[in-house]
Amino acid sequence: MTGGFLGLSYAASVVIGGSVLLGVVAGILGPFAVLRGRSMFGDAMSHGTLPGVVLAFMIAGVKDPTLLLLGAAISAALAAVAMITLERARRISPDVAIGVVLSAAFTLGIVLLTRVGSEGGGGQSGLEDYLFGQAAGLVRGDLVVASIVGVIAVGVVICWFRVLRTAIFDPGFASVIGIPAWAVDMLITALLVVGIVLGVRTTGAILMVALLVAPAVAARQLTRSLATLIPVSGVIGGLSGGIGAFVSGGENLPTGPVIVLVATAIALAAVLFAPGRGVLLRGARRRSRRAVGSPR
């Protein structure tokens, strides 16, 4: 069946469109996690979506995508609350809190997934797809929901951009003018939950954090301003999603991992070759200056 974008089948167009949308939203939200030092925090929340997905299925008894994603959102939020609580107890360092919650949440998810499979429902439910993603299962309704939620999340970023920028780059001044650090952390955490939940079905619980981080890392090599970093990261994320979905469809490869590989390749290329900040280009300039300044 044709009739999709650029002669692609309708199903392929939906997958590519959904992957581009996911990449753009993840690219816009990811810089806040990277700049706030919350990348691994997002990784723990991403892994924490698995028990929520399985529990939602066990309670509802049906594989309703909306209910499963709602369970993922609640589970990710609970994982975030657990990490913040452990951090604020001041007896556990942030990295230890993240490691404890990540391993505990993901282990619980695997145990529940195994339980469902042992009862004869694992194969029918397809819950294992939420580990590495299953973009082929996207339908038009998923795009509509993702578009609405994504627009809301991006709108929040636009409305609160000055507050977020101040809290990230000048926390001392933010505290003086009355911007509480906990409120900024909660807002960034909520945005991360949105990005993770939108992507967990396409990219999977294990790989989703890479799509949040890689575009931000690439964009950071190309610009020094947060006002331009965010849209550049969104563009890189969208390109990664589109190219990854297109390549995976043509080569019959899993979409989520291919998208992450594309995003990682772009980030690596930016780190090495970005004008002004690329590692190889800076090294070449240093060698050139030494050669010019050395006596003959």
The answer, yes or no, to whether residue 134 has pLDDT greater than 80, is no
- And the tokens for 183? 């409120």
| Amino acid 209: pLDDT | 87
Sign of CA dihedral 276, 281, 287, 292: negative
Residue with more model confidence, 14 or 132 = 14
The three-state secondary structure class of 75 is helix
d(CA 264, CA 155): 27
Rounded Cα distance between 264 and 6, Å, is 26
**Average model confidence (pLDDT) for the chain?**
84
Tokens representing 205 are 């619980």
Q: Which long-range contacts link 69-75 to residues 24+ away (Cβ below 8 Å)?
A: 69/197, 69/200, 69/201, 72/130, 72/196, 72/197, 72/200, 73/49, 73/193, 73/197, 75/48, 75/49, 75/50, 75/51, 75/105
Q: What pLDDT is stored for residue 60 in this prediction?
A: 85
Whether 259 and 211 have beta carbons less than 8 Å apart is answered as: yes
Pairwise pLDDT comparison (120 vs 214), residue with the higher score: 214
Q: Tell me the average pLDDT across 48-55.
A: 91
Give pLDDT, residue 281.
72
User: Residue 122 — pLDDT band, cuts 50, 70, 90?
Assistant: very low
Query: Tell me, what amino acid is at 185?
Result: D
Mean pLDDT of the 7-27 span? 85
Return the pLDDT at 218.
Answer: 94
Domain range list for the chain: 5-290
Q: Is the pLDDT of residue 135 over 80?
A: no
pLDDT digits (tens, 9 = 90+) for 176-199: 888 887 788 888 888 888 888 888
Residue 189 has what pLDDT?
86
Q: What is the mean pLDDT of residues 122-148?
A: 74
Mean pLDDT of 108-117: 87
Q: Which residues contact 67 (CB under 8 A, 6 or more apart)?
A: 56, 57, 60
The model carries a pTM of 0.85
Residue 239 pLDDT grade (very low, low, confident, very high; cuts 50, 70, 90): very high
Query: What's the pLDDT at 90?
Result: 66
Question: What residue ranges in the chain does DSSP mark as E strands?
Answer: none
Q: How far is CA 201 from the centre of its chain?
A: 12
CATH number given to 5-290: 1.10.3470.10
Taking the C-alpha atoms of residue 87 and residue 102, their distance in angstroms, rounded to an integer, is 14
Q: Rounded distance, CA 2 to CA 7, Å?
A: 6
Q: Which pLDDT belongs to residue 1?
A: 43
